Amino acid sequence: MRRCGAARSPPACEAMTRPRLVEFGTLSFAYFAALGLFAPYASLWFSALGFSTMAIGIISALQSCSRLLAPYAWSWAGDHSGRRVELIRLATVGCVLASLGLLGVEGAVAVACMTGLLYLANSGVVPLYETVLAHLLQTDEGMDRARYGRVRMWGSVGFILSVGLFGAWFQWGGIQTFPWTVAGINAFLLWAAFRLSPTRASATHDEPPPPVLGRLRKPEVQWFFLSIFFTVLAHSVMGGFFSLYLEKLGYGPAAIGVLWALAVAAEIVFFATQGRWLRFGSPHDWLIFVAAITAIRFAVTAGLGTWTLALVLAQLTHSVTFAGHHASCIVLISRYFPDRARGRGQALYAMLGYGVPGVLGGLGGGWLISHLGFEAAFWASAASGALALLCAWRARQTDAARAHPADGPSPPLLSP
């Protein structure tokens, strides 16, 4: 892939400097380290406070609910003001204030309010961060996927280190230290955000940003988002119920931790080396491949859960079904929502790709498990992967038809 040179514009070359990418790698590390602290251990703290299972479930669902609207609001502000780095800093200030609000509170309502505020602030970081990073990594041939992977890899490193180190910390210091630890990790996130240098993408504009509704009416974009929806829907059951499923099958805590760690380790390896893999196909080709592997992964999880080797192999495919999927989606988001529409494109990716399927997957997975058992939920995940395969294939077809029209444009899935 072409680097900075005569064919590149001077602003783009300046944006590709190594110190700036290090800054974003640090922010990615800090953000996902905070996620690696809160996601696995918050429920333990809630339980230690004496909350009921229903209350814990409601508080935990606030994260998916916050992804329904908050990312778009943050990105709308970024696209209209052009001051995305400043908004990232503001979001991290909100994270620190909300985490400080967790200190000394014990009632379920108070904890839910502070946790909800933390999620609302936190939901602005990734879409804004991804938008600025995609701008920095633009080349004449599109986004530099190799460098993106190396930056995003540090998020996965932060997550897996956080899960391991804070698990040992709570084993030693007790789960009652959780709110102080959350405040500390969000202070680290705040520091990383204030290290970011302003970019040319942060400059203000006199003209309004372009609308995105017309882009959403394009059939290839609609099929693209549907493929994301079904792929992430399959994984949402995994995120919410995999540990409980393994426990039911007789796996101990150590084995469960190893199986989770294998998935994240595979993800890190893919992000670190994705430049050499993604060149073997277009982003649409990769989404088709990802969906097929997703269907196989969860069919194996459902049908061969008692066979440890099968589960190990299934977990290793996380490198493709998550990391490969995310990298391909970011490339297509930058293509379908360029320039000043990119922030809202990233927000739609967070909302339609993670918010909605996260809520539906949690509710639907819980219903299936309570009525039909864990295996039924993972078979449903495999079916969702198969639907993602169909949608990804249609997205590639309609995208190719628009690039090389023969019989006229394809009709949109949704009428204006």
Q: How confident is the model at residue 290 (pLDDT cuts 50, 70, 90)?
A: very high
d(CA 42, CA 47): 9
d(CA 245, CA 242): 5
Q: Is the pLDDT of residue 409 over 70?
A: no
Model confidence pLDDT, tens digit, residues 116-150:
999 999 988 988 888 888 777 776 666 676 787 78
pLDDT score for 90: 96
pLDDT score for 7: 40
Sketch out the chain's domains with CATH numbers: 13-202 (1.20.1250.20), 213-403 (1.20.1250.20)
Residue type (1 letter), 59: I
d(CA 296, CA 249): 20
Q: Which of 28-37, 56-65, 208-217, 403-412 has the lowest mean pLDDT?
A: 403-412
- Our CA angle for 44, 47, 51, nearest 5°, is 145
Cα maximum dimension of the chain = 67
pLDDT score for 339: 67
Model confidence pLDDT, tens digit, residues 192-219:
999 998 765 444 455 556 666 767 778 8
% the chain with pLDDT above 70: 84
Give 368's contacts (C-beta < 8 A, 6+ positions apart): 376, 377, 380
pLDDT score for 410: 45
Highest averaged pLDDT of the listed ranges 46-50, 86-90, 164-168: 86-90
Predicted model pTM: 0.72
Q: How confident is the model at residue 61 (pLDDT cuts 50, 70, 90)?
A: confident
Structure tokens at 392: 């990804």
207: left (phi over 0), alpha (psi -120 to 50) or beta: beta
pLDDT score for 416: 37
pLDDT score for 187: 97
Beta bridge partners of residue 389, listed in sequence order: none
pLDDT score for 338: 74
Query: What are the φ/ψ torsions at residue 143 (nearest 5 degrees)?
Result: -75, 140
Model confidence pLDDT, tens digit, residues 216-231:
778 888 899 999 999 9
Q: How confident is the model at residue 414 (pLDDT cuts 50, 70, 90)?
A: very low
